[in-house]
Amino acid sequence: MPNPQGMLINLALQGGGSHGAFTWGVLDALLERGTLDIEGISGTSAGAMNAVVLADGFEENGAEGAREHLHRFWKAVSDASNFSPVQRTLLDMMFGNWSMDMSPGYLIGDVMTRFYSPYDYNPLNLNPLRDILEELVDFERVRRCKGVKLFLGATNVYNGKVRVFETSEITADSVLASACLPSMFQAVEIDGIPYWDGGFMGNPVLFPFFHGTKTDDILLVQINPISRKEIPRSARDIHNRVNEITFNASLLRELRAIEFVSRKLKEGVLSPDEYSDVRMHRIALVDTDAPLSASSKVNAEWKFLTYLRDLGREAALEWCRENEQHVGKKPTIRLEEEIAYTMQGELTGY
């Protein structure tokens, strides 16, 4: 994104269902400020959708176009959810609880996905997100986008490896592949290869930045916590924690690799001519006064999405005030602490 006074940065956008509206808020604030020049975006699932919508809008009308397209996309997602059987209960609404844990529609769907596959209960492979993407996103324009490089991650079902779709390859299918939870949707086939959600192998992938972009600064927009302080005890909480661990495992591996290379560069073991000293930064969705349960990731009420958007805007502006001046100079995450093992072998960090 050309900006004469901007500092180059790459964005790594995690997936997380409707919690991706937090990322929308982060992007909205960064685009409004205009002090950072976004060179590349790596996205998975909801992060992939935010990325392509941003690129489409930016190619059409710069930063303001990107902001308008993001708003329009999330409003369309919310409007489509009005017809969903998964809705909050009246009690949840009265007490300001965003959770879907007590929603009859959510409970029925939760049980169904544990005993039946989407090939059973959705044989026509209906996906409302496809309709939204195909209606609102001009994928030819996305593929022409020169202002930002895109890297969307999906998981190859056959070999379990990550597939990265770059800007010139991106279609509605590649975005849906990146967001294809196998318990909810049939695998998305592209050139005869079936793909599932990219979060299994990269949430999101970072390695495409190393050779595909110039800047060594990566801003991670993190909406899935790595660590928690409580032990999950219910079947649902255990299942949710397993998913969090699974979807963060590949990210932790890449962070360990970045920290290892950075340390060896400082020790003089590796050559700076061959290896990059990546500077990591982060804006994270953290628990608020109303903690967000895993089931709230399927809550697409406009009131909830704009609540998350506003959280994202606030978090981005706070990060800019405290850390923006360090972009291009030093990391604002201490990776040695993020990935350090305690004596018990437990990971520390957010």
Minimum mean pLDDT range among 85-99, 135-149, 163-177, 248-262: 85-99
- Give the alpha-carbon dihedral of 311, 312, 318, 320, to 10 degrees: -170
Mean pLDDT of 300-316: 96
How many residues belong to the chain? 350
Q: Is 157 exposed, middle or buried (0-12, 13-18, 19+ CB in 10 A)?
A: middle
How does pLDDT run across 6-38, given as a tens digit for each residue? 689 999 999 999 999 999 999 999 999 999 999
Task: Supply the mean pLDDT for the chain.
Answer: 90
Using alpha carbons, list the distances in angstroms from residue 28 to 38, 65, 296, 338. 13, 11, 22, 27
CA–CA separation, 106 vs 111, rounded Å? 9
How many Å is the Cα radius of gyration of the chain?
20
pTM score: 0.92
Give residue for tokens 């990971």: 347
Mean pLDDT of 303-314: 96
Closest CA to 219 of 328, 296, 66, 75: 328
User: Which residues are 190's β-sheet partners?
Assistant: 193
Q: Does 296 score more than 60 pLDDT?
A: yes
Angle at 251 between CA 39 and CA 57, to 5 degrees: 30
How does pLDDT run across 141-170, given as a tens digit for each residue? 999 999 999 999 999 999 999 999 999 999
How does pLDDT run across 34-76, given as a tens digit for each residue? 999 999 999 999 999 999 999 999 999 999 999 999 999 999 9
Minimum mean pLDDT range among 9-13, 86-90, 339-343: 339-343
